[in-house]
Structures are given as structure tokens and as C-alpha cells.
Structure 1
Amino acid sequence: MGAVTISDVRKVYNKTEVLKCVSVDIRDGEFLVLVGPSGCGKSTLLRMIAGLEEISSGEIAIGGQVINDLAPKERDIAMVFQSYALYPHMTVEENMAFALKLKGMSRGERDQRIARAAEILGLTPYLERRPKELSGGQRQRVAMGRAMVRNPAVFLFDEPLSNLDAKLRVAMRSEIKQNHARLKTTTVYVTHDQIEAMTMADRIVVMHDGQVEQIGTPLELYDQPANLFVAGFIGSPAMNMLRGTLTAGGFVAADGTRIDLGSETAAAGARDVVLGIRPEHFSQSGTGHSAEILAVEPTGAETQVAARFAGSEVMIALRERISARPGESLTVLPQPGSLHLFDAGTGIRIN
């Protein structure tokens, strides 16, 4: 069983609290992504699961067994690093076999495991090559293969795609997900890239400043962000944020623009709020509000428009193609059923 339980885990460096009572239950066979900006503590948490960092307090268990005091080699985990960490003097096959030799596995079983992993990862033609003879993507496959042959309870990935170019990153994240579907091994994956998180995860843990901001499926986080941090971090282009007042009549922006909230939360008395609008939740409408165009970015599938709307700069994503230019105006309407309201003081979602 590869379920991982993280209970009230803290990490303190020189009196600085890097992780603040983090608790996460990772289901057996789940692909869970830890995401957040640099310095949020996600890699530290991963290294604590691996046994590469000591736990200041709290517990981590794998398959019901507390592993706080176990050496990394006793934890039944395999880790894939950002830098690949391959032995340059060894062939691909030797790199993949190294940990199995240390375990005293027979030659026959080693060869069988390596052949299976090489076939899955498309490495069979490269088994006799050394790392310097491989491309970045091939080296990453070797690092994955070295982890796979160990047949661990848990795979740990620490930003494994950050050294690859954009096109190869897209291909490799699909490959990692396909391998997970085949192997069904519990996987904990760290990235700062929210697109990677959205496209790969069964569930996402959004971290910020050493603590968990929200845990949920990609669409749960996208559609119902718990607070302003998650709302601003998840989604590309980012959610637009308008500051203003919530009243019984709806939302009033700082410049006086009134926006209909439909059935969204209203307040009996005035309340300072932030209204969140995803770029794709604007539509062109003759009864909408004027938005001054600042820039137009056609992508083919949609048109992204930077504009000034309700006193703020926003990004508008339209499915249709437009011929408007900077300095001209669009008449747009935020879609009432797709708006997000947050308390201006606490940042917590209120609708």
C-alpha cells in the first residue's frame, strides 16, 4: 500500500519556520502535485518524505508505517530529481541496474525489470549509451526508468521537467501521466508551474509561505478557489481582480462601475470585497460596459485582449477573432454565474 499520511509536520531552520503544521492525506495510487511559488516549502516537504530532510515535529507515514526515523533506503520510495542525477561513466542499463545490484537482486530479475521499463519509456535502443550521448528528454526518461525498476510504494518527482524546453515539457508531462496510469503507483510531484499541476494531477496541494492554502482536484481549485492567493495562482492568464464594494444592489467597483452579480452573494450593508473574473468569463455585449483596449494578442484559438475595465487593467479572452486595435473600445459583460467574491481584508472566499 502506498498511501502517504502527513500529519502536522513542521520544519524549522535556525528559528525560521519553513513548514507550518502541514497535513495532507495522499491516497494509494494517487497522483498528487505540490505546487506553489519558489520558497513556499514544497520541495522541503518532498525531501522530508524521502528522508533527505529531518522532521522538526509531526509524523509522516507510508502504508500506515511511521517513517520519521527510517533511512531513505528503508522507506520504499524512488525519487526523480530536477538534475537527473545520472552516473556519467555508466551506460543507461547500468544506471538503471545500480540500485537493484545494491539490493542483491539476481541478474535475471534485473534484466527483466530493465527491459520492461526501457520498453515503456522508449529506451530500448539506448541501453548501451552513456548520459552524455542522450538528449535532455532521454536523460529524464532514464532517471524515470531508474526509479521505475525499483517498483517502489511511492514515486517522488522534484521539478523533473524544469530543465527541458517548452515543447518537450508538454510531451514529457503526458508521458509521465501515461506511465502513472499503467503503473498506478502513488506519486508525489513538485512543481512551481501551475499548468503542469492542472494537467497532471488527480489532486493539487497549493502551498504558500510554508502552509497549505487549499487541496482539491484541478477543476475544484479553478472553479472554487478558497482565497485570493489560490485564485491568483491557479489559471493562465491569471484571474482578474477588481476592488470595490458589495451591496444589496450588487458590486460597485472603485470607479463607480456597477456589475450585476446575478444570484451571487449580496450584502445588506456595504462591504469591501475583491471581485474575481476569469479572462474567459467576459463576453461581448451591446448592454455591457466599455473596456478600452490596451493590447490585442491573437493566439488562433482565442483572442486575448489587455484592456482597462472598471478602473483596472484586465485580461479578456474571447473565442471570436476581433479586428479592434489599441485605443479602441470593446463593450463587454462579465458572466454573472461565473464570478468570484473575496473578503478584501482576509482574502477568504465569500460566495
Structure 2
Amino acid sequence: MGTVTIRDVRKIYNKLEVLKGVSVDIRDGEFLVLVGPSGCGKSTLLRMIAGLEEISSGDISIGGQIINDLAPKDRDIAMVFQSYALYPHMTVEQNMTFALRLKGMSPAERKERVARAAGILGLTPYLERLPKELSGGQRQRVAMGRAIVRSPAVFLFDEPLSNLDAKLRVQMRSEIKQNHARLKTTTVYVTHDQIEAMTMADRIVVMHDGLIEQIGTPLELYDRPANVFVAGFIGSPAMNMLPGTVRAGRFIAEDGTEIALDTTPDRVDGQAIMLGIRPEHLVVSDGGTPAEIVTVEPTGAETQVVSRLAGTEVMVALRERLQMGPGDHFSLAPMPGTVHLFDAASGLRIN
């Protein structure tokens, strides 16, 4: 079984607490993504699962067995690094079979496993080449192939696509997800790129400052972020945030601008809040709130407009062509049921 259980795990470096009591249950066969800004502790947690970092306190289990004190080679995991970590003097086939040779696996079984992995990854024509003769994407496939041939209980990926160009990253995202669907091996994937997280994960763990902010499916996090941090981190362009209060069912911004709300909990009346609205949920409306256009950024499929509304810069993503420019004025209104309300003091969701 490839279940991974992380219980109240902490990591302390020279009195600095990098992980502050992290607990996650990862299901067998799940593709779980750890995401967050640099320094949030996601790579440290992955390295602790791999056995490359010691656990200061808490427990990590794989398949019900606590692995805190097991050497990396005894944990039934395979890791794919950002830097590929290929042996430059070995061919693709030799790189992929190196760990199998160390385990004493027979040549026939090694050949069978390499043939299967190479077929999955499209590497069959390159088995006799050296890493220097491959493109970046092909090298990353070799690193993945080296993990696949071991048939581990858990795959660990540490920002494997960050060295690739934008087009190749999109292609490799799809390939990794397709391979997971074929192999059905539990996968823990670390990235700072929330687009990678959204497009690849069964569930996402959003981390910040050594803590877990929220765990959920991509759409759960997108549609109902638990707090201001998750709301701002998940989604591109980011969610707009306006400080103010709610009175009699209307949002009152700090400069006095009013925005009509379709529904608000009675308990928030008069409370200091942050109103969140995603750029694609703002529409041009004659009965909306006046705003001034700052910049217009056509992207083809949509037009992104930076506007000034209620004294705050607000991003609007429009599907229709906008025949206006900087300095022009229009009115904006949120689509029904799309407004997010957060407590200004705690940052927690309140609607």
C-alpha cells in the first residue's frame, strides 16, 4: 500500500522552526501536490519523506510502517529532482538500471522493466545515448524512467519542471499526469507554481510559513479558499482584495464607495472585512460601481484590464473585446454568488 501518513511533523534548524506541526493523510494512488511560496517548508517536508532530512519530532509512515529511522534506500520511494541528477558517463539505459543493478536484479528483469518504462515515456530510441545528447525534456523523462523502473510505493517529485521552458513545462505536466493515471502510484509533488498544482493534483496542500493553510481539491481551493492567503495564492490572475465593512447588505470600501452584494451573513454587519472577487467574476455593468481604466492587456482569449475601483487597483478579465483605454471610465459589478468575504483581523473566510 502506498498510503503516506504525516503526523505533527516538525523541523527545527538552529532554533528556527521550519515546519510547525504538519499533519497530512495521503491516500494510496493519490496525486498530492505541496504548493506554496519559497521558504514555506514544502521541499523540506518532501525531503523528510525521502529520508534526506531528519525529523525533529512527529512521525511519517508509508503503508502503515513508521519510517523515521529508515535509510532512504529502505523506504520504498523513488525521487525525481529538479536537476535531473543523471550520471553523465552512463547511457540512458544504464542510468535507468543503475539502482536495479545495485539490488542484484537479474539482467532479464532489468531489461523488461526498462523496456516498459521507455515505452511509456517515449525513450526507446534514446536508450544508448548519453545525457549530454538529450534535450532538457528528454533528460527529465530519463529521471522519471529511473524512478518508474523501481516500482516504488511512492513517487516524490521536487519541482521537476522548473528548469524547462514554458511550452515544454505544459507538455511535461500532461505527460506526468498521464503516467500517473497508467501507473496509479502514490505521488507527492512539490512546486511553487500554482498553475502546475491546479492542473495536476487530485488534492493540493497549500503551505505558508511552515504551516498548512488548506487541503482540498483544486476546485475546492479555487471556489472556497479558507483564508486570505489561499485566496491570493490560488488563481492567476490573483483574486482582488478590497478592505472595508458590510452594512445593510452593501459593502462599504474605505473610501466610501459602495458595492451591492447579493447575500451576506447577518453576523458580519458592521464588521471590518476583506472582500475578495476573482477577475473573471467582474463584469461591465451600467448599474455597477464606477472604475477608471489604468492599463489594458489583450491576451487573445481574454482582455485583462487593470482598473482603479474604490481607491484600489483591481484586475478584470473580460472575454469580450474592450474598445476603451487608459483614463476611460466604466462600471463594474460582481457576478451573483461570486463574492468572498474574509475577516479583516484573522484573514479567515466568513461566508
Q: TM-score range by the shorter chain?
A: over 0.9
Q: Secondary structure at the match of 1:241?
A: strand
Distance 1:110 1:278 in 2: 51
Stretch moving more, 294-303 or 21-30: 294-303
Correspondence for 1:112 = 112
Correspondence for 2:287 = 287
Superposition pairs of residues 332-347 of structure 1, within 5 angstroms? 332-347=332-347
Correspondence for 1:236 = 236
Correspondence for 1:215 = 215
Correspondence for 1:349 = 349
Distance 2:173 2:264 in 1: 37
User: What amino acid is the match of 2:126?
Assistant: Y
Measured against aligned partners, the alpha-carbon deviations of 1:55-104 in whole angstroms (never above 9, x if no partner) come to 00000000000000100000000000000000000000000000000010
Correspondence for 1:259 = 259
Query: Is the contact made by 1:304 and 1:318 (CA closer than 8 Å) also made in structure 2?
Result: yes
Distance 2:209 2:268 in 1: 35
Query: Is the contact made by 1:248 and 1:268 (CA closer than 8 Å) also made in structure 2?
Result: no
Distance 1:98 1:49 in 2: 22
User: What amino acid is the match of 2:35?
Assistant: V
- Deviation, 1:45, is 0.2
- Deviation, 1:30, is 0.2
2:1 maps to 1:12? no
Correspondence for 2:79 = 79
Correspondence for 1:326 = 326
Number of aligned positions between the proteins: 351
Q: Secondary structure at the match of 2:337?
A: helix
Go from structure 1 to structure 2 and tell me whether the alpha carbon gap of 1:283 and 1:266 turns closer, same or farther (over 3 Å shift). farther
Superposition pairs of residues 4-83 of structure 1, within 5 angstroms? 4-83=4-83
Correspondence for 1:121 = 121
Stretch moving more, 40-49 or 293-302: 293-302
Distance 1:33 1:232 in 2: 18
- Deviation, 1:263, is 1.8
Superposition pairs of residues 170-181 of structure 1, within 5 angstroms? 170-181=170-181
Q: Secondary structure at the match of 2:108?
A: helix
Distance 2:268 2:205 in 1: 35
Measured against aligned partners, the alpha-carbon deviations of 1:198-218 in whole angstroms (never above 9, x if no partner) come to 000000000000010000000
- Deviation, 1:37, is 0.3
Q: Secondary structure at the match of 1:37?
A: coil
Distance 2:347 2:101 in 1: 53
- TM-score, length of structure 2 as denominator length: 0.99
Query: Is the contact made by 1:264 and 1:336 (CA closer than 8 Å) also made in structure 2?
Result: no
User: What amino acid is the match of 2:132?
Assistant: K
Measured against aligned partners, the alpha-carbon deviations of 1:274-297 in whole angstroms (never above 9, x if no partner) come to 000100011111111111001111
Measured against aligned partners, the alpha-carbon deviations of 1:252-302 in whole angstroms (never above 9, x if no partner) come to 111111112212324464110000010001111111111100111111111
2:274 maps to 1:274? yes
Over the aligned positions, Cα root-mean-square deviation in angstroms equals 0.8
Superposition pairs of residues 118-157 of structure 1, within 5 angstroms? 118-157=118-157
Query: Is the contact made by 1:264 and 1:337 (CA closer than 8 Å) also made in structure 2?
Result: no
Stretch moving more, 205-214 or 263-272: 263-272
Distance 2:217 2:31 in 1: 11
2:90 maps to 1:100? no
Q: Secondary structure at the match of 1:275?
A: strand
Go from structure 1 to structure 2 and tell me whether the alpha carbon gap of 1:306 and 1:274 turns closer, same or farther (over 3 Å shift). same
Q: Secondary structure at the match of 1:337?
A: coil
Correspondence for 1:307 = 307
- Deviation, 1:151, is 0.2
Query: Is the contact made by 2:11 and 2:56 (CA closer than 8 Å) also made in structure 1?
Result: yes
User: What amino acid is the match of 2:185?
Assistant: T
User: What amino acid is the match of 2:64?
Assistant: G
Distance 2:245 2:266 in 1: 10
User: What amino acid is the match of 2:150?
Assistant: R
Query: Is the contact made by 2:22 and 2:211 (CA closer than 8 Å) also made in structure 1?
Result: yes
User: What amino acid is the match of 2:280?
Assistant: E
Distance 2:307 2:268 in 1: 32
Unaligned runs of 5+ in 2: none
Query: Is the contact made by 2:117 and 2:145 (CA closer than 8 Å) also made in structure 1?
Result: yes
Query: Is the contact made by 1:250 and 1:266 (CA closer than 8 Å) also made in structure 2?
Result: no
User: What amino acid is the match of 1:217?
Assistant: T
Query: Is the contact made by 2:249 and 2:263 (CA closer than 8 Å) also made in structure 1?
Result: no
- TM-score, length of structure 1 as denominator length: 0.99
User: What amino acid is the match of 1:308?
Assistant: R
Query: Is the contact made by 1:245 and 1:253 (CA closer than 8 Å) also made in structure 2?
Result: yes
User: What amino acid is the match of 1:110?
Assistant: R
User: What amino acid is the match of 2:346?
Assistant: T
